[in-house]
A and B are shown apart, each in its own frame.
Chain A
Amino acid sequence: MAAAVEMVGIEKRFPRVVANVGVNLVVEEGEIHALAGENGAGKSTLMKILCGLHAPDAGVVRIFGREVTDFRPAAAIAAGIGMVHQHFMQVPTLTVAENVVLGEEPRRGPFFDRRRAEERVAELGSRFGLPVDPRARIEDLPVGLQQRVEILKVLARGARVLILDEPTAVLTPQESESLYATLRSLKSQGRTVIFISHKLREVRAAADRLTVLRRGRTVGTVPIGEVDEAKIAEMMIGRPVLFEIEKTPAAPAGAVLEVRDLAGGRLRGVTFDVRAGEIVGVAGVEGNGQSELVEILSGLRQAGSGTARLRGRELSRAGPAAWFEAGLGVIPEDRNLRGLIGEMSVADNLILGRHRQPRYSRAGIVAGAARDADAAGLVERFDIRPADPRAEAESLSGGNRQKVVVARELSRVPGLLVAAHPTRGVDVGAIEFIHRSILAERARGAAVLLVSSELPEILALADRILVLCGGAIAGEVRGAEATERGLGVLMTGGAPA
């Protein structure tokens, strides 16, 4: 029997980058096949070729044994391919039913038959065990349900092969579990699933087989039982990855940041110090005051009450400029919103906030030479890819965008580094790099406040861990003594074990 999908020798070049060079992928019918690789390895390009959004420059694509000659979305849909994009392809102002049937709407004369569309969607939902209200507006639904609508949409088009691009990137852990169950149920109904991921745990949990891409090439395809997470990471990066980071004992000196009874928004009065040469982790379920804490400590929000002293200066109501002047470096929670200006070049982003320093501008005119020279140095030191300081920040992958932010903030040589979710949505290679950079800051003598919802990250890096619950500090644990379970109990409001 022919494979569900067979892609041989695929090549695709874009004006600035080569996305695929000689990629091979074989997906058998009725399996869950993971496609893994670092950001920018060419996974998304390959899948866009399969679903007809790009035409390959070279190579052969066969779907259920039939060679594809017409690379258009409609042809791919007709061949049984359905793609669930990472950024959902939905019209938020339309209803679930309208989104699902768009492009092949039931008609009554020239009119749109809304009732029949709603019935069709409800029937589809019950057949595949994916219930959702057909009349709800997309923009009113939680992300997990929006994704369900996306899956329904491709099933409605008779998809036999479903492609999911980083499906869990936007989901909570519970929603992810429910997605895996959905995928298994689709498999039991004879559908084939391809999902793109760079999360090792998830690949192990959900897939039958795995194909790894690296820098536009296929590294190999393996049954999931034959590889462990370390092996997958090595295939993705091309060298062994150290999950356990070696950490020397902390040698903290005097307090750099002194926070006393600080409150604002959901934050209800917290008191702690961060000393030079130590990493203080802030753990907690999201929405328990972490965002407010980070915003106050970077001058984006005025504290309601309490004080925050950085190197002795009281700044709880000061703006960002005062904080930076006192020696702050910050990796913000949302790098696209607050960390970068997408339309500007990497070099311009690297001097943001320092553009008025005499080194970078004189009388309001940017000193291009100094900026470019420093940018080239940072791009090399932080291994930002593509290694082109003139590239638009927006054109970079998530991991490389975050490296730009980290590079800028660390090049300030901050006395206090506030890092909020520094590795969110970043691939394994970049995670390792960012963790090393944070540890290097500690070794240099910086005070580091690490806010993260990833407990393994906090456990790996922090010397002391503060647990936020309901806007207050529910407990403090020494890094060496902390366990995921113990922190979990504190995070959900239980007494320390």
Chain B
Amino acid sequence: MISLKDVERVYKTSNATVHALKGITLNVKQGEIFGIIGRSGAGKSTLIRCINLLERPTRGSVIVDHCNLTTINKEALRHARRNIGMIFQHFNLLNSRTVYQNVALPLELMGLSKKEISSTVHPLLELTGLTEKANEYPYHLSGGQKQRVAIARALVNKPKILLCDEATSSLDPKTTHSILQLLRDINEKLNLTIVLITHEMEVIKSICTEVAVLHQGEIVEQGSVLALFADPKSDIAKEFVKAATRLEMPIALRRRMRPQPTSTTHPVLRISFMGQSAQEPFIAYVIQHYELTVNIIQAHLETIRDEAIGIMIVEVMGSADNIQNAIAFLESKGLHIEVLGHAPRST
């Protein structure tokens, strides 16, 4: 549905050249909720603006719904943009227009009749729960209501794609939840492809199916959200997951840990399991079978879109060979094991 190839964006100021995006390639399939996560300054906003060409890439191509947006003329681009709705962190509603008039704006621009406009706008106000607010001005609405208006406006052209630029970043947690729920609903009801950018793992884990991690203008990791939680590979992804799961080793243990094993240490592992592997008592099995003592330091059960994923940090005591075999066994059962370090025996 969306395909970016080698997209670069360079800003030239009088005394510096900034490479905001350094060769981004990604594909978003029809019906996905694709999340792009990154810290501020990673290039997220630039990236999402390259999809509808609010920012023109310096190099590379942007193909949306089989149309290469980077090569078509302005008129065709305006036409293509009607196929791509967009919502923003600060809602960007017109203060001089009522809720109804804001939602009607895109249709007005196309020159539709009042009757046609009304028959499209009202069902959308209903979908977004704004029917009673139709004649209010945005000034009188709460943040969540404003974002609903923006969503209705973005959907009024019946687009196939919705771009969300930090859409929940200025909302409180409860409102964030309701907006995310609404996005998920429209994704399912309208079979809409959604691309969102955020700096919050919460957003990714509650609605996204796919995720890309953006760091300093490059995609450092990409895959399903479950895989990212179970087995983050890049440092930045590990940080995001750690922050989201609040799994942090106790400082006292971290201070004692060494990178290399010695005869008096035992390993500290991060074990994550999901789906089928969460159903069976593998840990209990290895304790018995390999004669190990397992000390659970922390554990966390996470729900990602409706699937459970467990993450544990454990100290494992036993003979070195048995520990190796146990790790191999667990990995063969689909659990992800990462050796975090080696702690000396506490006295």
Partners in one complex: no
**Chain B interfacial positions (CB closer than 8 Å to A):** none
